[in-house]
Amino acid sequence: MTTPTRPILPKLIGERIKRREDPRLIQGRATYVDDIKLPGMLHLAFKRSDIAHGKIKRIDTTAAAAMEGVELVLTGAQVAEFLPPMPIGTPFPSPDHHAIAHDTVRYQGEPVAVVVARDRYLARDAADAIVVEYNPLPAVMDPEKAMQGQPTVIHPGFPNNLAVPFVPGGSGVDPVAGTVDNTAVDKAFAAAEVVISQRMLNHRLAPTAMEPRGVVAHWEPGKEQMTIWSSTQNPHILKTFIAALNGLGDNQVRAIAPEVGGGFGCKINIYGEDYVASALSKRLGCPLKWIEDRSEAFMTTTHGRDLLAYVDLAAKRDGTVLGIKYKLIADIGAYNMLLTAAIPTLTQGMLSGVYNFAAVRSELTEVFTNKMPTDAYRGAGRPEGIYFVERAMDMLARELKMDPAELRRKNFIQPNQFPFTTQAGNVYDSGEYERLLDLALKNANWAGLKAERDRARADGRIVGLGLAFYVEICGLGPSAALPTGGWEHAGVTIERSGRITATTGSSPHGQGNETTFAQMLADQFGVPFDDISILHGDTGVVKQGIGTFGSRSQAVGGTTLMLAGDKVKKKMAKFAAAMMGPGLEDVGATEEDLVFANGLISVEGSPGLAKPFAEVAGFAYVPVPLPAGMEPGLSDEAFWEPAGMTFPFGCHIAMVEIDRDTGELSLTKMVAVDDCGTVINPMIVDGQIHGGLAQGIGQAMIEEVVYDEDGQLITGSFMDYAIPRATDFPWFELDKTVTTSPLNPLGAKGVGEAGTIGSTPCIVNAAVDALSGFGVKHIDMMLRPEKLWKIINGGQA
Amino acid sequence: MIPTEFEYKRAGSIDEAIQLLAASKGEGKFLAGGHSLIPLMKLRLSEPGVLIDIARIPGLGGVREKDGKLEIGATTTHHDVETSDLLKRLAPVVAEAASEIGDPQVRNRGTLGGSLAHSDPAADMPAVVVALGAEIHLKGPKGWRAVKAEDFFTDLFTVNMAEDEIIASVQFAPVRTAAYAKLHQKASHYAIVGVAAALQVSGGVCQSARVAVTGASTHAQRLTSVEAALAGKRLDEATIAAASAVAGNGLQNINSDIHASEAYRRAMVKVFTRRALTAAARR
């Protein structure tokens, strides 16, 4: 017998493999929802409220319904007859939220009627022909006034517009008993030698995914099956809710997320348009499509952030922080959506940052206003929390005239303290903060930058240095932490040919799972990368799943896939052992000693026994004879949930310069060191950091959702809502440390949101440093040129 | 984009374009790069019944020298203006201003004629052509006519041009001592304030100056007090400072929006006048 020879395959975990997704995306060969075209498909358009708040007096659909090619026009009241209010993921009481408003409109853009027509253009023409009369009500726009019931109350039964009146968090809070013990917090402030107090706003943002939302719903009356294509981050959750609201069994719905052009959290939600499309398809028995346009996306896709904080920090003059208190007011907009109420509670868990604070207290109130509801947006609660902590720490450093890096170092949680339960309530899995801080300071040449800044200032330039150190929550799970379930599902099939087909419930929308997961399996089975295909985003193909959010793909989805692979691998080893026959025993080995590498299954030191991977795969499907006690075939699956969440961390350092004449802020240096645990593909991790930094810096510098006092969205297009361009940034100088997580066998933590979390406070800290000579202690974002110009010219920020 | 229904026609010559427009009985709009018109159609703020595509009319685009003057055809894209060797050599301000318009996609589609005809209060090129003392050449059913740029822009989105006329080209004398300085609005990259200055300098003395502002008010217009403060003066820092200090003093109807208040815009008119003058003086 000859020894089979195979090329030596390199280990792929840790390699910068180019994303296999990119060629189709770059070449326009990807299939998005709008590319789905079905025979007999009709199109939806929604008539939307052009006012922020008002009673619907009258809707006249006559002209619209009379247009040739218009199949159906329904008002909100008519739709409510068969479509119940939308599901909301909050334990608190919540007002009904109908897919289409039928009595009162509560934000600009809220749907009031729907049109079904033969094409999209006609549908829009018909929607424009619907006449709606309102009795306008005052728009509730300021959350602090809203809390006083001013100028009016938005939802009956929710006095003073309180969506969630009061959620305490931190030291001495027993959420189960509902008790609050103030001893620790009071003690901290009684012992304070210095107290920092500041009101800070983490303002409202629009997620602006490159692909807006979209849905195609297809009810097949003969089969009694619904297929729904949607630009979603979580098709399995979509399937569950679409079934529930349509009175169908969940086995009657197949949900497909085709290519998804970005989500950033806003595509976790199941929106009214998804429910209406499915319900009307079921009534009409034909496929229906709705594609959001960009104007609708700004108005009616969930916004992010909008959290106001009153922060008080107590410290000793040597820089030891004794305690910190927060009064948080979340402006959640007009309704609760899936996670609206939960997002600010994630902030509460992050309010001690990377520090060993002796006492932390937060008091959260969530308030209704006449704006688009908020929900998850890249970072979802953690950027807000870290922003408040890192601004407060910076203010303390300035007050004490301490180096901001050294103040942070003094208060770090130490490596030997992990797992560490913070006073804010989270259990941090692992961390080595000082090591990473030192690397960041070295990479930035911190002392050199300070000297450079001082020289620039001596020349009359307005230059500042900022630093922020973040920690965040990734790998969302276990089920106790997520109402949808905190696990993930994966399947691995070795095909007859020896190629591998894997499925994952982590439905990506830009994360690159097809690449990273294939890298993992290639190493696990010792087969070529190109032999592996990763399927996702289709509940008809992927049996179960939760989805992609909270930076959970690698830590939870990746681990689950590896465990499914292990099961198949064990079975494959048995087949290989059977093929090797007594030879295996002769060399004193068992199936457990078999090595999968270079396309072979072999025993170390006995090359003659090696079997080609593909040959073993073929044998498994035609096993003659079938080894005793075995089933044919090579396919298995796994469910897995982590015991807890992972806590990646990092340090971002920025240098900025502000134009004295105009107030324009330019970012001149950006150094980021991030620790996301084990890295599968450094190129993809770098890409995530790049994108995250861009969004985080964007928030600080140029992104802001603005409504006027009547609730009209001023930033309703990219002509007024700025997003960063490459030319806004210097080269990002990236580096990493690796502190593995003990919570999964990969040691991975997560990186999808990291860049967004540290960069925002970093930029604001730098801007405040730059303007410190003008007596500035804090500036609220975004850092509009005019705002900075006013400070420089002696006016108020 | 989901506009209302329209017909599409392509004109092969200026005269055909004018005929098609007349035949549309008020329903027609000229389409060149579409970067002013299409965003309005997308929002259904403009609902033309007929689009008359003039982008491919032979000879209507391009940069050339003509009788000692420079001529830019109406359908020349901003990109072609930005990269024109002729302009870089003989009137670099025009190429530089074009390079600051929008983004590469906008510059590859948008045209000079379209920008001028639309007269967005924050568009860049209107200020440049006013400062250059350019003539805008129009053709209509009654024939040709030329309008001075400073008389062309009259109000918000309003120009001295009949409904049935088409811009054919812009002509101006070569000038090297000219510059454009602009404060970018970070979303649209239109000008919050943009100032174009063209100077006639001889022996270190500014013989005459033409300075125009955009973004600040309803339409691009001359800053005559700045021009007066420069004329006949030695072109030094003190003169520029003094001239910039009066910039925009008489300007009416100052714009105010989320990006910049009236007070800030007024201050920026002075800042960017100084920058434009300084850059022009250095040439």
Dump pLDDT digits (tens) for B148-195.
999 999 999 999 999 999 999 999 999 999 999 999 999 999 999 999
Of B39, B187, B260, the CB nearest to A721: B187
Measured between beta carbons, which residues in chain A are less than 8 angstroms from residue B118? Answer: none
Measured between beta carbons, which residues in chain A are less than 8 angstroms from residue B35? Answer: none
Interface contact B260, partner A, CB < 8 A? yes
CB contact under 8 A, B187 and A722: yes
- When comparing pLDDT for A10 and A442, which is higher? A442
Interface contact B6, partner A, CB < 8 A? no
Q: What percentage of chain A exceeds 90 in pLDDT?
A: 96
Residue A772 has pLDDT above 80, yes or no: yes
CB contact under 8 A, B258 and A715: yes
Of A662, A721, A790, the CB nearest to B271: A662
Express each pLDDT in A279-332 by its tens digit.
999 999 999 999 999 999 999 999 999 999 999 999 999 999 999 999 999 999
Measured between beta carbons, which residues in chain B are less than 8 angstroms from residue A721? Answer: 187
What's the Rg (C-alpha) of chain A?
A: 28
Residue A333 has pLDDT above 80, yes or no: yes
Which residue carries 């985080």 as its tokens? Answer: A696
CB contact under 8 A, B186 and A714: no
Over residues A108-121, mean pLDDT: 98
- Within 8 A by CB and 6+ apart from A574, the residues are A591, A627, A630
CB contact under 8 A, A293 and B268: no
- Asked if A99 and A27 count as a contact pair (C-beta separation under 8 A), the reply is no
Q: Which residues of chain B have pLDDT under 50?
A: none
CB contact under 8 A, B183 and A789: no
Cα–Cα–Cα angle for A443, A446, A450, nearest 5°? 150
CB contact under 8 A, A662 and B188: no
- Within 8 A by CB and 6+ apart from B134, the residues are B148, B149, B170, B171, B172
Q: DSSP letters of A527-595? A: --GGGEEEEESBTTTS-----S-TT-IIIIIIHHHHHHHHHHHHHHHHHHHHHHTHHHHHTT--GGG-E
Q: What percentage of chain A exceeds 70 in pLDDT?
A: 99
DSSP summary character for residue A422:
-
- pLDDT band with cut points at 50, 70 and 90 for residue A795: low
Over residues A689-709, mean pLDDT: 97
pTM for the structure as a whole: 0.96
Cα–Cα–Cα angle for B137, B140, B141, nearest 5°? 155
Tokens in use for B263? 């007070």
CB contact under 8 A, A714 and B258: yes
Q: What is the pLDDT of residue A3?
A: 52
Q: What is the pLDDT of residue A714?
A: 98
With CA atoms as reference, report the closest residue to A24 among A419, A380, A515, A537.
Answer: A515
Q: How far apart are CA A135 and CA A299, in angstroms?
A: 21
Q: How far apart are CA A164 and CA A791, in angstroms?
A: 37
- B1, B2, B262: best to mutate for the A interface, most A CBs within 10 A: B2
Q: What percentage of chain B exceeds 90 in pLDDT?
A: 99
- Asked if B146 and B136 count as a contact pair (C-beta separation under 8 A), the reply is yes
Complex confidence, ipTM: 0.96
SS3 category, A462: strand
Measured between beta carbons, which residues in chain B are less than 8 angstroms from residue A293? Answer: 1-2, 42
- Asked if A513 and A534 count as a contact pair (C-beta separation under 8 A), the reply is yes
Cα–Cα–Cα angle for A471, A474, A475, nearest 5°? 155
Over residues A436-443, mean pLDDT: 98
- pLDDT band with cut points at 50, 70 and 90 for residue A176: confident
Measured between beta carbons, which residues in chain A are less than 8 angstroms from residue B267? Answer: 789, 793
Q: What is the pLDDT of residue B87?
A: 98
- A789, A791, A792, A793: best to mutate for the B interface, most B CBs within 10 A: A789
Express each pLDDT in A178-237 by its tens digit.
899 999 999 999 999 999 999 999 999 999 999 999 999 999 999 999 999 999 999 999
Interface contact B269, partner A, CB < 8 A? no
Q: What is the pLDDT of residue A483?
A: 85
Residue A2 has pLDDT above 70, yes or no: no
Q: How far apart are CA A390 and CA B102, in angstroms?
A: 35
CA of B68, closest CA in chain A: separation in Å? 38
Q: How many CB contacts within 8 angstroms connect chain A with chain B?
A: 55
Measured between beta carbons, which residues in chain B are less than 8 angstroms from residue A793? Answer: 267
Express each pLDDT in A8-41 by its tens digit.
788 999 999 999 999 999 999 999 999 999 999 9
- Asked if A600 and A608 count as a contact pair (C-beta separation under 8 A), the reply is no
Q: What is the pLDDT of residue A6?
A: 61
Q: How far apart are CA A132 and CA A125, in angstroms?
A: 15
Of A295, A661, A721, the CB nearest to B271: A661
CA of A243, closest CA in chain B: separation in Å? 31
Q: What is the pLDDT of residue A91?
A: 85
Residue A768 has pLDDT above 80, yes or no: yes
- A46, A661, A665, A725: best to mutate for the B interface, most B CBs within 10 A: A661
Interface contact B45, partner A, CB < 8 A? no
Which residue carries 């002796």 as its tokens? Answer: A358
Q: How far apart are CA A231 and CA A270, in angstroms?
A: 10
How far from each other are the two terminal CA atoms of chain A, in whole angstroms? 83
- Asked if B194 and B268 count as a contact pair (C-beta separation under 8 A), the reply is no
Express each pLDDT in A353-377 by its tens digit.
999 999 999 999 999 999 999 999 9
CA of A694, closest CA in chain B: separation in Å? 14
Mean pLDDT of chain A: 96
Measured between beta carbons, which residues in chain A are less than 8 angstroms from residue B186? Answer: 701-702, 722, 728
Q: How far apart are CA B255 and CA A672, in angstroms?
A: 40
Measured between beta carbons, which residues in chain A are less than 8 angstroms from residue B241? Answer: none
Express each pLDDT in B78-99 by its tens digit.
999 999 999 999 999 999 999 9
Q: What is the pLDDT of residue A456?
A: 98
Interface contact B264, partner A, CB < 8 A? yes
Interface contact B5, partner A, CB < 8 A? yes
CB contact under 8 A, A128 and B260: no
CA of A721, closest CA in chain B: separation in Å? 6
Residue A5 has pLDDT above 60, yes or no: no
Which residue carries 């920008």 as its tokens? Answer: B115
Tokens in use for A58? 């009258």
With CA atoms as reference, report the closest residue to B231 among B198, B260, B255, B261.
Answer: B198
- pLDDT band with cut points at 50, 70 and 90 for residue A797: very low
CB contact under 8 A, B2 and A789: no
Of A295, A720, A785, the CB nearest to B258: A720
Residue A1 has pLDDT above 60, yes or no: no
Over residues A666-679, mean pLDDT: 97
CB contact under 8 A, B187 and A662: no
